[in-house]
Structure 1
Amino acid sequence: MDPRAASIIGIYERHAGAFDRQRARTLFERGWLDRFTALMPPGGTVLDLGCGMGDPIARHLAQAGFRVTGVDSSSPMIELCRARLPEQEWRVADMRALTLGRRFDGILAWDSFFHLDPADQRRMFPVFRDHAAPGAALLFTSGPAHGVAMGEFEGEPLFHASLDPAEYRELLSANGFAERAHRAEDADCGGRTVWLAQA
């Protein structure tokens, strides 16, 4: 593993409170979330990988009637989730080693999966596949092109990485997902590069 990627869990453990204070609650992701939920049955189940403190995305999904299982490697983040949305399910776990033995109607990895190094990103696609019910929706963000981009949070370097779009398409197809939508650096979503696929 790239040592810069290995530092991510510690950053979110140390700075959960700062992230919670700074995270926008405007739900600028709504357009993509609407497309995601349109592929799922009403009241369906969602696996939120790298759920953070659950607000605003998991809260939005729960309020729309979906049952959320949130997974994050940061214990303080999950504590915030449990306090705010106790009726949902929250787990402290590393998404890379996840084996819940259950399948979900939707799988979400919003602003989380891209903290993994390229090798770990490749290994996540079988994790997606193994947790996807027939017809499940998959929504994740990446970078626009292959490479590493370093950010900063609370004075610490923050690792981001991306594969090439062609490789994401190959991984989706090889693991039983069909691409439904993709937009690089979506200006309507804070410049994020977004993928929507379906099992």
Structure 2
Amino acid sequence: MTEAPKDVVRRGYDAVSHAYRADDADDGPYAPWIAALLGRLPDRADVLDLGCGCGVPVARALSAAGHAVTGVDLSEVQVRRARDLVPHATFHRADAAGLDLPDASFDAVVCLYMLIHLPLDEQPALLSRIARWLRPGGTLLAVAGHGAWTGTEENWLGAGAAMWWSHPDADTCRKWITAAGLTVDGEEFVPEGAGGHALFWARRP
């Protein structure tokens, strides 16, 4: 692969945005995660959604519940759709690994299938910044890799564009979360096809 991995990810999501999630998609498998997160949030919470995609379903659900959501995504197409689909939230097109945000500014940070699109050496540093962005007692909800793998899929979702992923195994990711200063208080395996992912709940003490 000669193209930079993040350019592959950005172009990939620009191409597959609608195939990946329709405007009217329901919460699907995200529903129990969203419900559990809502149960952890204070009233009128501030939530950061990293890798927010088109805003559906996470930002849509949290915004509808009265929370202030800030979404960040690398894809211009995804962010443009999110602004239309979830008008009461705030969205930015940016590289999550390069964000500079105030400490203790969010009650929760959501990273669903986003960390797995970052180079491995950037993931621990982002988790450390996330820990600083969380308020005491704040929650991290993240879906990361279960088994270690780095690779590219051509013509992802039949949209004519490639996609790139990189992730360690779940044990390594758990160690990174803990090293960032967060306490892991929940973990589960999320099956997908012949493999799956690891879902983590963590909290800033």
Query: What is the TM-score when the length of structure 2 is the normalising length?
Result: 0.84
User: Take 2:94 and 2:14, find their aligned partners in 1: how far apart are those partners?
Assistant: 13
1:185 lines up with 2:190 in the alignment = yes
1: CA distance, partners of 2:12 / 2:23 = 15
- In the alignment, the residues of structure 1 paired with residue 196 and residue 202 of structure 2 have an alpha-carbon distance, to the nearest angstrom, of 19
User: Per-residue displacement from partner, 1:34-89 (whole Å, max 9, x unpaired)?
Assistant: 22232221221110001011011211111222211011121221111111222211
Partner of 1:124: 126
State the partner residue of 1:175.
180
How far has the Cα of 1:107 moved from its partner?
A: 0.2
**Alignment partner for residue 140 of structure 1, among 115, 139, 142?**
142
Aligned partners of 1:186 and 1:194 also within 8 Å: no
Q: How far apart are the structure 2 equivalents of 1:172 and 1:4?
A: 23
Is there any run of 5+ residues in structure 2 with no aligned partner, and where?
A: none
Runs of 5+ unmatched residues, structure 1: none
**Percentage of pairs with the same residue:** 25
Structure 2 counterpart SS, 1:180: strand
Answer yes or no: is 1:162 the counterpart of 2:167: yes
Kindly report the root-mean-square deviation, in angstroms, between the aligned alpha carbons of the 2 structures.
2.4
Partner of 2:108: 106
> Structure 2: how far apart are the matches of 1:22 and 1:59?
11
Verify: 1:55 aligned to 2:56, yes or no: yes
Per the normalisation by structure 1, the TM-score is: 0.86
Determine helix, strand or coil for the equivalent of 1:21: coil
Deviation at 1:138, TM superposition (A): 0.3
**Cα offset for 1:159?**
1.6
Look up the equivalent residue of 1:9 and give its one-letter code. R
Kept after mapping to 2: 8 A contact 1:36/1:196: no
Q: How many residues align?
A: 196
